[in-house]
Chain A
């Protein structure tokens, strides 16, 4: 093992090519993952922020907030279901917003809601709204009035909230009455009367399982479609397809990384056949030599990850602004672990050649 380390330290140039190729693959992997996370977060942030166990739509809405409507009598039935702790209403409308000083309008998702969640406090006073921090990039300042929709309903930005975007539009969170006012003024086809919400957020009592509660709700209130938060997120348009497609591409890129490691270690092993013969002749086992190879592969993978990570962080500011890249630590950890495993598998391709090296070749070799 020490020999492998010393070779890495004394002759880094020998491993530069493998490291360089792997570094680029790391950049590719991190950008792919960042793109997936950016797309997912911008589409699902508002749902991810919810603390409720279930999001309940009407079954005819097919998992869409905009097509669902739950009237007060149905809500009352739902509240009576055993295991339901609290029920609160939620609704949304996608609209353009005009921010003073900004030449172009900005797309926002205006939410009406009743209960606080992990990111948004309890509803503000009428005419006010909590606003997603991404709107600061569009020029919005706290306390400022901005206008939403073609009818230009005015709202005052009360405070920032984080990660509450919905379908790639910045979240704006208002109380029910203000939201209904926005809806009526801008979307006369989507108006809802007082007490009616697009969907309901349900918190389960104590240790009642969310899945079990969903079954009880379905049985007690036909026509409702209770979904766990994870189901609701995956049910948003395009999210599941996006995750499936990107995951396949990422897996394929890991396979390419494995092939690259295997390729270069095959070349490096070939270059050192004579040296390995001598080492075997003086008593070094095949296992020790293979172990050295593994150490080198893992070290190169880790080095490539560090350099690739830094390059990716450096590249992010110059990526076109309409590419929604979000670098999150969890993705980086998964990429690092995946790369190490891939490097291990790739380096194993050369084990057979090491085992086949005949110590006697050290005597007759050139």
Chain B
């Protein structure tokens, strides 16, 4: 084993470069995964963490809350479907909010019937709204003027909202998010446009009876109520615009980055083994077993990969420490462990060509060489 370590000590530059390259590639993979998770969470949090088990969209809305509008009659019709325990209007809009700072915030506001379906489920501080003019805010934005007890103003219209609760993972469309009573929502939206004629609900929020299958009720609503598309909460989250595009895009990039790790590691150790063929043959001739040489090779692969994973973990921790509160990057040990393990498997798979070459070395070949070779 000392042979492997000695070679690394004497070839600091090339082993250092490989470790650096693997480290950056693993960091790229970790960063892309972290970014995907955070982005998707910020895109979808509000829908994922509200109490309605089914969301009912207008049939042409392509399950996009911004595009969807339903009528009050639709809300009543949904409530009549078998298996529906409660159905209520549920609306979403993006408005400019003055949270006391120099700039206005683009803020997503959800309106729901108090104590009805659609209320936030991840309350971490304070309480849910009990009256008009009260709001629960996404906890991550507390430091931006959306803290407990803060009063924010929706402009134009000058509607004031008091933050009475904070909920985790509640952002929507990567913006600060507020949940208010349906009446507050209607009043606020009407105030922003003096020519507005009415505020139609974006969706219908549904809770199902105990013991019934949610997906079956969703299908029943779509079949029985004209002009709607009902979907379970999970389905609504994965159908949001951009979610599948973000997921697919990052999957393509992750696959490519993983393939580059495989190629770089594999080629490096192949070249190194070819360059050392004479020295390795000589070692075999003087009694070193193939197993001994293989163990040295695998130790080097292991050390380089672990070094790379260490570099990547360090870079991710650095990125986490300098990330901003409104877009936090988390150095998740579980993710590092899982990605590191996968990288290790990839690196070992990549060294198969080198392993085969070492196994095929013929000690007798040393007698046909002018010199033993070896690396300077």
Contacts and interface: CB of A to CB of B under 8 A. Distances in A.
B268 A263 contact: yes
Contacts, number: 167
A238 interface: yes
A324 B60 contact: no
Interface in A305-328: 319-320, 322-324
Interface string A79-107: 00000000000000011101000001101
A253 B24 CA distance: 8
Contact of B198 (A27, A189, A264): A189
Interface stretch (A55-63, A154-162, A285-293, A330-338): A55-63
A24 B260 contact: yes
B13 interface: yes
B24 to A, nearest CB: 5
A235 to B, nearest CB: 10
B106 A259 contact: no
Contacts of A66: 94
A17 interface: yes
Interface stretch (A46-54, A121-129, A206-214, A267-275): A267-275
A190 interface: yes
A353 to B, nearest CB: 8
Contacts of A94: 66-67
Contacts of B69: 150, 186-187
Most chain A beta-carbon contacts within 10 A, residue among B66, B249, B253: B249
Most chain A beta-carbon contacts within 10 A, residue among B13, B198, B270, B370: B13
A310 B125 CA distance: 55
B262 to A, nearest CB: 9
A259 B67 contact: no
Contacts of A104: 62
B156 A31 contact: no
Most chain A beta-carbon contacts within 10 A, residue among B190, B248, B260, B375: B260
Interface string B1-43: 0000000000001100110110011011001100100000000
B376 interface: yes
Ordered nearest first, which 3 A-B pairs have the shortest CB separation? Answer: A96-B60, A263-B17, A188-B197
21 contacts: A21-B263, A27-B256, A62-B96, A62-B104, A96-B61, A96-B62, A188-B196, A188-B200, A189-B198, A190-B193, A191-B196, A252-B27, A262-B17, A263-B268, A267-B272, A270-B376, A271-B275, A319-B252, A322-B245, A349-B13, A349-B17
Given A17-B267, A21-B263, 15 more contacts: A21-B264, A66-B94, A69-B193, A96-B67, A105-B60, A107-B64, A188-B200, A252-B31, A256-B25, A263-B18, A264-B267, A266-B13, A270-B275, A322-B244, A349-B13
